Amino acid sequence: MFIDIPRELEAALLGLSLQDWELDGPFLAAPTVEHYRSTLAALPQFERTAAALSDALTGKSGGYAVLRLGGLADVLGAGDRFRRLATAFAAQVAVPFSPFPKWPLWKDIGVKVDKDPGKSSGTGYNAFHMDLVNATLPPDFTTLLCVRTDPRDGGPSILSDAHAAVARLPEQTRALLAEPAFHYGTFFDLNGVGEECKPFPILDGTEPGRGFVRFTAKMLERSELGRPQAEVARALEEELVRGQVSFMLEPGDYLIVDQRRFLHGREALGNGQEKVPAADRRLLLQLFLRAPSGSAAAR
Tens of pLDDT, residues 201-258: 999 877 777 899 999 999 999 899 999 999 999 999 999 999 999 999 999 999 999 9
Question: How much is the pLDDT for 296?
Answer: 57
What ranges do the domains of the chain cover? 2-289
Phi, psi of 171 (to 5 degrees): -60, -40
- How far is Cα 156 from Cα 28, in angstroms, rounded to an integer? 30
Q: Is 279 exposed, middle or buried (0-12, 13-18, 19+ CB in 10 A)?
A: exposed
259-271 residue pLDDT tens: 999 999 999 999 9
**Inter-residue contact 133 to 250 (CB < 8 Å):** no
- How far is Cα 205 from Cα 189, in angstroms, rounded to an integer? 28
99-116 residue pLDDT tens: 999 888 999 999 999 999
Question: With 70 as the cut, is the pLDDT of residue 96 above it?
Answer: yes
H or E segment to which residue 143 belongs:
strand 141-148
Question: How much is the pLDDT for 63?
Answer: 96
8-54 residue pLDDT tens: 999 999 999 999 999 999 999 999 999 999 999 999 999 999 999 99
Question: How much is the pLDDT for 294?
Answer: 53
Question: With 80 as the cut, is the pLDDT of residue 297 above it?
Answer: no
Instruction: Output the CATH code of domain 2-289.
Output: 3.60.130.10
Phi, psi of 183 (to 5 degrees): -155, 155
**Inter-residue contact 159 to 264 (CB < 8 Å):** yes
The CA-based diameter of the chain, rounded to the nearest angstrom, is 58
161-188 residue pLDDT tens: 999 999 999 999 999 999 999 999 899 9
Question: With 70 as the cut, is the pLDDT of residue 295 above it?
Answer: no
CA-closest candidate to residue 4, choices 72, 64, 76, 96: 72
CA-closest candidate to residue 56, choices 47, 48, 45, 65: 65
Cβ–Cβ contacts within 10 Å for residue 22, how many?
Answer: 12
Question: How much is the pLDDT for 298?
Answer: 58
- How far is Cα 254 from Cα 200, in angstroms, rounded to an integer? 30
- How far is Cα 213 from Cα 275, in angstroms, rounded to an integer? 38
What value does the mean pLDDT take over residues 138-158?
A: 98
Question: How much is the pLDDT for 245?
Answer: 98
Quote the Cα angle for 130-244-155, to 5°. Answer: 75
**What is this structure's pTM?**
0.96
